């Protein structure tokens, strides 16, 4: 058989054959696309990330939200040049992640049986990150009140906060029913992730983290710069939605 | 009962690099070819637009372009007496999904294996004696030689427009290239990519230490290129979003940029996406494949009959389909019999991060391409005398810094707290002056009797089929090899001028949660003897001669290089055997 040419007649013939096949072999259609003859390309058919909506917490309750803001500000403290985790939006970032597919372990393998394994076999629990945060924050709140005369974490100050977190981090302060050290490690990872991810996800507000380290963001052409060695790249960062100043009135 | 679709000449299972190569070769022969892809259609302008592809969270951290574990995963344990548990979220490797497969989100590192890699067992036994090899090591020769593969390596390099500097042109050693590589018949189609600051520093330091550094061969193009199929690629812009990402700039070689626009216009080719092949069907004799059964996105089952079946899914899924289809004898490590699942291997990866004085060094580490690197090959394969060191195998080492996306690349010197004010200051002070070579040490992983794949007794997939079980650990030989290479690498990073080093060796036990590479190999290996291989030297099934199995599942063990160029060369080699020999006389191409 000779290779055909991509003419309209060729296309129509194939569509006809495909249709015939369906009539002959079944009453229903195959529920997946058949691609033939041309690239199945449609303009503007992409799937850009939806920006997060600012506003109230979507996952945390008020108490959890206050604790989270205090926690991310300890993990990434403000300094004269760069805001801390709270003002950079790290708690908002984590809140929206937990309210979304990540929090629910969407797409992960969550079939039973669940059994404890070795650390190098990975997370083995029906609970996803959302439930882990709910449980972790509640246990942390109880431990905190117990050690601070009934005060929640958000009402503590400077050194008291740091001392408490160091104790959890080292595994010296046990959280009731929760692996406190693992929970805190996750919290640190998520707060820092929110600090450095694109601002479209709610953290790294005004690209403060990228400005701090000198990362130019979602630029994609350094052809003029690859050979300019040991010279600081001069342009400020841009995010996926551009630069906040461009859209401000 | 599944419904039948009209018979085709060829059915292809999985549509990444090897599926696209086989489809193009076999449609050129005039055959009617249909391909099945479990994942969705993907194309550069729609799915990887530069407007939002530079999204580390979405693509790197949340794995947008990859297979979802709820679709299919594996169970894992280190040793045969342990209970394997499911890999619930990806870690050590990332199985691809969708049209283009791993060819979409790879770094495009284009390495040829060494001539001695293909005759490994023979070569090492002759040089060191059989007693030098660990007792339970099951390395084998491939059945195909470097010289046989060379024209096919060349073909894949020219399809991709590979950028590089030749090191061995028809036996003549060339300045600036890799002096250890096998002889190549032609130079690379395009010159090597430009190198960022830290990469040139690595080259200088390595040269001063007496090594012969060379630019890593790259499928991210240094200049515009038109390939033999008429596809046009553009020059790479060094954006640093290759690995884990698709390239919206048409400058990374992928099935989308090098084959698909040509292939899809042929009237004898069609592709069904979102269709998962669940079984290869065989006739009553068990010696002939009749086609495949697949499930569409609504869960309905269909049968596609074909005269020739090409299995070209990712390593693990090739092996799993053979096991689920009961083709070939499953491997049993206790009796050391059977073949399917045997000689499964991965890679030994480690790295050394170097922290430099930020007043003197600014690396702009975000300026990079996926396969940009300056490497030395003195310690790969058997390029050096292993006698005094007591291990076999090796790898290349290099400054292969492929981008500095800030969630993963804000490193701090050893001893810095993991959070708080000191951490924040250290991040700020070090980001631009840290060298972070991703896979700086890229080592081989040889095969062992008790490292293998089989079906799990407890865990099932969404169709109720057993998951495939990985039994794998790191052995003394690979740990020694990695320690040796990592120390050599650290010396070079230090000679570059680093003030502090963070050295991380690869150690046992093998950890399924920490990313290494997606270079999984073996399980359906090629060879000269049906007792120890699933496929003959042409990637043809010994048991079912109208079934050919592509991909790194055919590697008898892993060499110290990235696998894709060898995977592509093997596909062209197999396609040539089908076109020139099999179609004239369908049957076994090699007598058992």
Closest alpha carbon within chain B to A110: B88
* Closest Cβ opposite residue A117 in set B46, B85, B297: B85
Q: What is the mean pLDDT of residues B375-394?
A: 98
Q: What is the mean pLDDT of residues B299-322?
A: 97
Rounded Cα–Cα distance for residues B33 and B27 (Å):
6
- How would you label A108-140 residue by residue, b for 16+ Cβ within 10 Å and e otherwise? bbbbeeeeebbebbbbeeeebbbebbbbbbbbb
| CB < 8 Å from A in window 299-338 of B | 300, 302
Contact between residue B167 and residue B161 where contact means Cβ atoms under 8 Å apart: no
Rounded Cα–Cα distance for residues B554 and B550 (Å):
7
- Using the beta-carbon criterion (under 8 Å), do A222 and B51 form an inter-chain contact? no
* Token code pair at residue B434: 């840290």
Cβ-proximal residues to A146 (8 Å cutoff; 6+ apart), any chain:
none
Rounded Cα–Cα distance for residues A30 and A26 (Å):
9
Q: What is the pLDDT along chain A (249 residues), one digit of tens a residue?
A: 333 333 333 333 333 333 333 333 333 455 677 888 877 766 666 788 888 888 999 999 999 999 999 999 999 999 999 999 999 999 999 999 999 999 999 999 999 999 999 999 999 999 999 999 999 999 999 999 999 999 999 999 989 999 999 999 999 999 999 999 999 999 999 999 999 999 999 999 999 999 999 999 999 899 999 999 999 999 999 999 887 666 554
Tell me which residue of B566, B243, B206, B165 sits closest to B381, measured CA to CA. Answer: B566
- Closest CA of chain B from A45, distance in Å: 6
Contact between residue B383 and residue B114 where contact means Cβ atoms under 8 Å apart: yes
CA neighbours closer than 13 Å in the CB half-sphere of residue B544: 26
- The answer to whether B519 is a known catalytic residue is yes
| CB < 8 Å from A in window 259-278 of B | 260-261, 264-275
| CB < 8 Å from A in window 450-509 of B | 458-460, 509
- Closest CA of chain B from A33, distance in Å: 6
pTM for the full predicted model: 0.94
Cβ-proximal residues to A15 (8 Å cutoff; 6+ apart), any chain:
none
Cβ-proximal residues to B98 (8 Å cutoff; 6+ apart), any chain:
B37, B39, B40, B41, B42, B65, B104, B273
* Closest Cβ opposite residue B238 in set A2, A49, A226: A226
Q: What DSSP string runs through B211-229?
A: ---EEPPBSB-SS-EE-TT
- Closest CA of chain B from A142, distance in Å: 23
Kindly give the interhelix angle for B146-160 and B564-577, rounded to the nearest 10 degrees: 110
Indicate the DSSP class of residue B303. Answer: E
- Using the beta-carbon criterion (under 8 Å), do B85 and A30 form an inter-chain contact? no
Distances from the Cα of B195 to the Cαs of A26, B158, B178, B435, in angstroms? 58, 22, 16, 14
Distances from the Cα of A95 to the Cαs of A54, A58, A91, B37, in angstroms? 11, 6, 6, 36
- Cis peptide bond prior to A113, omega within 30° of 0: yes
Rounded Cα–Cα distance for residues A212 and B406 (Å):
11
* Closest Cβ opposite residue A215 in set B5, B46, B406: B406
Instruction: Please write the tens of the pLDDT for every residue from B508-545.
Output: 999 999 999 999 999 999 999 999 999 999 999 999 99
- Using the beta-carbon criterion (under 8 Å), do A198 and B55 form an inter-chain contact? yes
Rounded Cα–Cα distance for residues B288 and A106 (Å):
40
For chain A, the distance separating the N- and C-terminal CA atoms, rounded to the nearest angstrom, is 65
Cβ-proximal residues to A41 (8 Å cutoff; 6+ apart), any chain:
B43, B45, B46
Give me chain B's average pLDDT, please.
Answer: 97
Residue A11: predicted pLDDT: 34
Report phi then psi at A109, rounded to 5: -85, 110
Residue B49: predicted pLDDT: 85
Rounded Cα–Cα distance for residues B92 and B515 (Å):
4
- For residue A35, the cross-strand partners are B271
Q: What is the mean pLDDT of residues B343-367?
A: 98
Helices and strands, counts by H and E, chain B:
13, 24
* Closest Cβ opposite residue B57 in set A13, A79, A198: A198
Rounded Cα–Cα distance for residues A131 and B112 (Å):
48
Task: Return the number of other C-beta atoms located less than 10 Å from residue A50's C-beta.
Answer: 8
Instruction: Please write the tens of the pLDDT for every residue from B250-289.
Output: 999 999 999 999 999 999 999 999 999 999 999 999 999 9
- Using the beta-carbon criterion (under 8 Å), do A223 and B237 form an inter-chain contact? yes
Tell me which residue of B49, B477, B200 sits closest to A229, measured CA to CA. Answer: B200
CA neighbours closer than 13 Å in the CB half-sphere of residue B375: 37
**In a 3-state reduction of DSSP, which class is residue B570?**
helix
Instruction: Please write the tens of the pLDDT for every residue from B84-121.
Output: 999 999 999 999 999 999 999 999 999 999 999 999 99
Q: What is the mean pLDDT of residues B437-444?
A: 95
For residues B83, B456, B105, A123, the Cα torsion angle rounded to the nearest 10 degrees is -30
Rounded Cα–Cα distance for residues B395 and B399 (Å):
13
Rounded Cα–Cα distance for residues B182 and B115 (Å):
6
Rounded Cα–Cα distance for residues B495 and B485 (Å):
16
- Using the beta-carbon criterion (under 8 Å), do A35 and B41 form an inter-chain contact? yes
Closest alpha carbon within chain A to B47: A46
- Cis peptide bond prior to B509, omega within 30° of 0: yes
For chain B, the distance separating the N- and C-terminal CA atoms, rounded to the nearest angstrom, is 36
Rounded Cα–Cα distance for residues B452 and B472 (Å):
7
- Closest CA of chain A from B530, distance in Å: 34
Tell me which residue of A54, A46, A48 sits closest to A89, measured CA to CA. Answer: A54
**In a 3-state reduction of DSSP, which class is residue B521?**
strand
Residue B51: predicted pLDDT: 82
Residue B348: predicted pLDDT: 96
Tell me which residue of B537, B489, B527, B589 sits closest to B205, measured CA to CA. Answer: B489
Rounded Cα–Cα distance for residues B204 and B44 (Å):
37
- Using the beta-carbon criterion (under 8 Å), do A4 and B270 form an inter-chain contact? no
* Cα–Cα–Cα angle for B235, B561, B254, rounded to 5 degrees: 35
Distance of alpha carbon B398 from the chain centroid = 18
Tell me which residue of B11, B4, B43 sits closest to B27, measured CA to CA. Answer: B11
Q: What is the mean pLDDT of residues B19-48?
A: 94
Rounded Cα–Cα distance for residues B473 and B486 (Å):
19
Q: How many residues does chain A have?
A: 249
* Token code pair at residue A71: 């926690």
- Using the beta-carbon criterion (under 8 Å), do A229 and B200 form an inter-chain contact? yes
- Using the beta-carbon criterion (under 8 Å), do B513 and A119 form an inter-chain contact? yes
Phi-psi region for residue A235, left (φ > 0), alpha (ψ -120 to 50) or beta?
A: beta
B158 has pLDDT over 50:
yes
* Closest Cβ opposite residue B46 in set A32, A45, A49: A45
Residue A23: predicted pLDDT: 34
């Amino acid at each position: 058989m000779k290779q055909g040419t991509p003419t309209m007649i060729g296309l129509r013939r194939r569509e006809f054959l495909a249709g015939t096949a369906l009539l002959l072999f079944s009453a229903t259609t195959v529920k997946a696309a058949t691609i033939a003859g041309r690239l199945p390309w449609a303009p503007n058919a992409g799937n850009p990330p939806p920006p997060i909506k600012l506003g109230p917490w979507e996952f945390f309750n008020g108490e959890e939200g206050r604790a989270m803001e205090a926690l991310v500000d300890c993990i990434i403290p403000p300094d004269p040049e760069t805001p801390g985790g709270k003002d950079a939006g790290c708690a908002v970032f984590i809140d929206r992640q937990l309210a979304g597919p990540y929090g629910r372990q969407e797409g992960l393998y969550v079939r039973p049986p669940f059994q404890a394994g070795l650390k190098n076999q990975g997370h083995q629990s029906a609970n996803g990150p959302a439930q882990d945060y709910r449980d972790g924050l509640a246990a942390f709140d109880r431990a905190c009140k117990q050690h601070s005369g009934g005060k929640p974490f958000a009402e503590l100050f400077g050194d008291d906060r740091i001392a408490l977190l160091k104790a959890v981090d080292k595994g010296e302060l046990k959280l009731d029913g929760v692996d406190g050290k693992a929970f805190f490690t996750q919290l640190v990872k998520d707060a820092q992730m929110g600090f450095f991810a694109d601002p479209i996800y709610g953290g790294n507000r005004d690209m403060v983290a990228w400005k701090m380290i000198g990362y130019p963001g979602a630029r994609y052409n350094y052809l003029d710069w690859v050979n300019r060695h040991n010279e600081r790249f001069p342009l400020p960062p841009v995010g996926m939605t551009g630069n906040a100043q461009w859209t401000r009135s | 009962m599944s419904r039948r679709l009209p018979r085709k000449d060829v059915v292809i299972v999985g549509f990444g690099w090897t599926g696209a190569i086989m489809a193009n070769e076999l449609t050129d022969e005039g055959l009617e070819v249909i391909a099945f892809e479990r994942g969705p259609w993907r194309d550069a302008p729609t799915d990887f637009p530069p407007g939002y592809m530079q999204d580390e969270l979405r693509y790197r951290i949340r794995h947008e372009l990859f297979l979802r574990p709820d679709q299919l995963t594996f169970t894992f344990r280190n040793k045969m007496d342990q209970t394997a548990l499911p890999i619930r979220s990806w870690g050590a490797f990332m199985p691809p999904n969708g049209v283009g497969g791993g060819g979409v989100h790879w770094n495009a590192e284009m390495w040829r294996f060494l001539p001695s890699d293909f005759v490994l067992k023979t070569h090492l036994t002759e040089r060191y004696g059989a007693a030098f090899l660990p007792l339970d090591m099951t390395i084998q020769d491939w059945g195909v030689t470097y010289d046989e593969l060379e024209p096919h390596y060349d073909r894949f390099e020219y399809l991709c427009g590979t950028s590089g500097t030749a090191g061995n042109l028809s036996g003549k050693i060339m300045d600036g290239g890799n002096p250890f590589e096998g002889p190549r018949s032609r130079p690379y189609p395009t010159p090597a990519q430009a190198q960022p600051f830290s990469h040139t520093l690595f080259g200088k330091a390595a040269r001063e230490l007496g090594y012969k550094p060379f630019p890593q061969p790259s499928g991210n193009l240094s200049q515009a290129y038109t390939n033999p199929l008429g596809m046009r690629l553009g020059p790479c812009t060094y954006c640093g979003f290759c690995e884990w990402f698709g390239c919206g700039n048409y400058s990374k070689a992928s099935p989308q940029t090098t084959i698909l626009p040509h292939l899809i216009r042929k009237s004898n080719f069609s592709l069904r996406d979102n269709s998962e092949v669940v079984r290869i069907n065989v006739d009553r004799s068990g010696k002939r494949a009749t086609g495949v059964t697949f499930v569409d996105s609504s869960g309905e089952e269909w049968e596609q009959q074909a005269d020739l079946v090409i299995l070209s899914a990712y390593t693990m899924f090739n092996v799993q389909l053979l096991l689920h289809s009961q083709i070939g004898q499953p491997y049993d490590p206790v009796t050391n019999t059977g073949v399917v699942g045997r000689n499964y291997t991965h890679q030994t990866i480690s790295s050394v991060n170097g922290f430099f004085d930020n007043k003197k060094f600014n690396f702009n580490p975000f300026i990079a391409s996926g396969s940009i690197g300056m490497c030395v090959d003195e310690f790969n394969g058997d390029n050096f005398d292993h006698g005094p060191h007591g291990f076999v195998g090796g790898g290349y080492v290099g400054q292969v810094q492929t981008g500095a996306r800030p969630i993963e690349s804000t490193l701090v010197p050893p001893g810095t707290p993991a959070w708080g004010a000191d951490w924040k200051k250290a991040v700020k002070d070090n980001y631009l002056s840290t060298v972070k070579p991703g896979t700086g040490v890229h080592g081989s992983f040889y095969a062992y009797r008790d490292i293998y794949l089989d079906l799990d007794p407890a865990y099932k997939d969404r169709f109720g089929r057993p998951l495939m079980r990985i039994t794998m650990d790191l052995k003394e030989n690979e740990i020694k090899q990695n320690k040796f290479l990592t120390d050599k690498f650290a010396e070079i990073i230090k000679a570059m001028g680093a003030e502090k080093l963070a050295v991380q060796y690869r150690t046992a036990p093998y950890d399924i949660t920490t990313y290494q590479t997606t270079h999984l190999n073996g399980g359906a290996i090629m060879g000269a003897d049906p007792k120890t291989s699933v496929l003959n030297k042409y990637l043809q099934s010994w048991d079912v001669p109208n079934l050919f199995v592509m991909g790194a599942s055919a590697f008898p063990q892993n060499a110290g290089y990235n696998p894709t160029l060898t995977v592509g060369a093997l596909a062209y080699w197999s396609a040539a055997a089908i076109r020139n020999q099999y179609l004239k006389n369908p049957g076994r191409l090699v007598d058992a």
